[in-house]
Amino acid sequence: MSDPDDPLALEQQVCFALSVAARSVVAIYRPLLEPMGLTHPQYLVMLALWQHAPLSVRRLSELLQLDPGTLSPLLKRLEAIGYLRRRRDPADERSLAITLTDSGRALRADAERIPPAVVARLGMPVEDLRSVHAALTRVIAAATPQT
């Protein structure tokens, strides 16, 4: 039993709860994504592309809140398996444009089964999940340095 007055009690730490929750939820996605040949970070890339493609690497990096160095290997792997193409942007040769291939676009139909499967696996009302999402979005905003 933890002491609620102990500022260093593990069970009282927001970072601990977020870390365990993130690992646990990502683990639910793993068996759903494996048949599609995707890891969870690759799935996030595909979600952004299904919603916003075509995208520059810079814009994709902003959307996912990942630095381009972390994003680059994900993009290379997704290109190697045929879900996207990376090409120089004709409007700005310094920029890489990311577009979906036909296979990448078609994969969306398979991916549409993932959110309801995750909700079912969690066994929580959708309203509760929306509340958690809203709270986490506020945490992200509060923890993000203002530029």
Q: 34-56: per-residue pLDDT in tens?
A: 999 999 999 999 999 999 999 99
Residue 94, pLDDT score:
79
Question: Do the Cβ atoms of 101 and 84 come closer than 8 Å?
Answer: yes
Give the model's pLDDT for residue 1: 65
Q: Please name the helix (run of DSSP H) or strand (run of DSSP E) that holds residue 139, with its range, or none.
A: helix 126-143
Average pLDDT over residues 30-36: 97
Q: What is the pLDDT of residues 62-121, one digit of tens each?
A: 999 999 899 999 999 999 999 999 998 777 777 889 999 999 999 999 999 999 999 999
- At 138, the pLDDT band (50, 70, 90 cuts) reads very high
Name which of 113, 91, 89 is nearest 36 in CA terms. 113
- Sheet with 92-100: list strands edge to edge: 55-56, 92-100, 84-89
Report d(CA 65, CA 139) in Å as an integer: 14
CA atoms lying within 13 Å on the CB side of residue 18: 10
Alpha helices in 14-97 (DSSP H): 14-33, 40-52, 57-64, 68-80
Which fold, 37-108?
A: Arc Repressor Mutant, subunit A (1.10.10)
Q: Provide the pLDDT for residue 118.
A: 97
Q: pTM score, two decimals? A: 0.91
- The answer, yes or no, to whether residue 133 has pLDDT greater than 90, is yes
According to the model, what pLDDT value does residue 3 have?
80
What was the pLDDT predicted at 14?
Answer: 93
The residue ranges of every structural domain in the chain are 37-108
Find out whether 136 and 128 touch, Cβ atoms under 8 Å: no
Q: Which residue bears the tokens 């009690």? A: 9
What's the confidence (pLDDT) of residue 5? 87
pLDDT of residue 74: 96
pLDDT at 8 > cutoff 90: yes
